[in-house]
Amino acid sequence: MERKKIAIVGTGLIGGSLAIQLHEKKISSRLIGVDANPMHAQQALELELVDEILSLEDAVREADVVVLAIPVDSLVHLLPLVLDLVDQQIVLDLGSTKSQLIEVVKNHPKRGRYVATHPMWGTEYSGPAAAVRGAYENKAVIFCNAADSDADALQWVKQMYKKIGMHLLDMEAKAHDLHAAYVSHISHITSFALANTVLQKEKEENAIFELASAGFESTVRLAKSNPAMWVPIFLQNRENVLDVLNEHIAQLTRFRDSIQEGETEQLRTLIEQANTIKRIIR
């Protein structure tokens, strides 16, 4: 695989973790960082996630590949601007929602240079210091509307993801956003809501700290996630998020009613139904 000069726009958790693997797998000949946050840009340099920091325009001009690893509300505005700047550069994004983004550039003359991807990985932390070595290994990456990308661009991006250890899936953008709401977005909403519930009802912070079990910690771990990332995701994927959120509220209501009425068998049935998730997640 030919090594390329790669620009990472957004040097935080997602972009920084990818940068580590691009370097270690010898996919990049040079890594160029772009970040609107000067402190993050400086950290990315100090942590050697990137070799240099440039402006967006200079980075696109210098690079062979441009990776967009920024919140999805910024992506919608930035992607068309980046495509305006490219000649034959490959452009890919790592965003968690896809329909609106793809719609924005569907008629762009350089649409073929863009490859829409969503690596299914993340943590509750943010910033360059949160970057993780080996983050994407053995994880899935979704390619959306791949037929709209130029063959050479698509092939290089697929090879890149394979080389860092990911397995590849193809999906239409609207289907991707629906499934992402079910398996990712609702998990974050639930975690945020549970954290707020506990903070509202349990006024003794020491009690939370001392009594919190591993189960509680794993459930609310996502509540530490960055609102700058998740607010745009929820709003861009509003229709699907509301669909799954309404179903989740209905399920919570069933649990509440069963407990309130002392319905032992109904409560047992609800838990046994939930147990069948073991067929999918071990």
The pLDDT of residue 256: 96
User: Both 232 and 158 in a single domain?
Assistant: no
Q: Where are the alpha helices (DSSP H) in 36-125?
A: 38-46, 56-62, 72-85, 99-105
Contact criterion met (CB below 8 Å) for 101 and 87: no
- Of 49, 62, 45, the closest CA to residue 4 belongs to 62
Q: Where are the beta strands (DSSP E) in the chain?
A: 4-9, 28-34, 52-53, 65-68, 90-93, 114-119, 140-144, 167-171
pLDDT digits over 97-146, tens only? 999 999 999 999 999 999 999 999 988 889 999 999 999 999 999 999 99
The pLDDT of residue 197: 86
Q: Sign of torsion, CA 157 158 162 163?
A: negative
User: Both 126 and 189 in a single domain?
Assistant: no
What residues have CB less than 8 Å from 69, skipping those under 6 apart?
A: 8, 9, 10, 11, 12, 14, 15, 18, 93, 94
The pLDDT of residue 277: 83
Q: How many domains does the chain have?
A: 2
Kindly state the tokens that stand for 8: 């990472």
The domain in which residue 197 lies consists of: 176-279
User: Both 275 and 147 in a single domain?
Assistant: no
Q: Which residues of the chain fall short of a pLDDT of 70?
A: 202-215, 282
Where among 172, 196, 216 does a domain terminate?
172
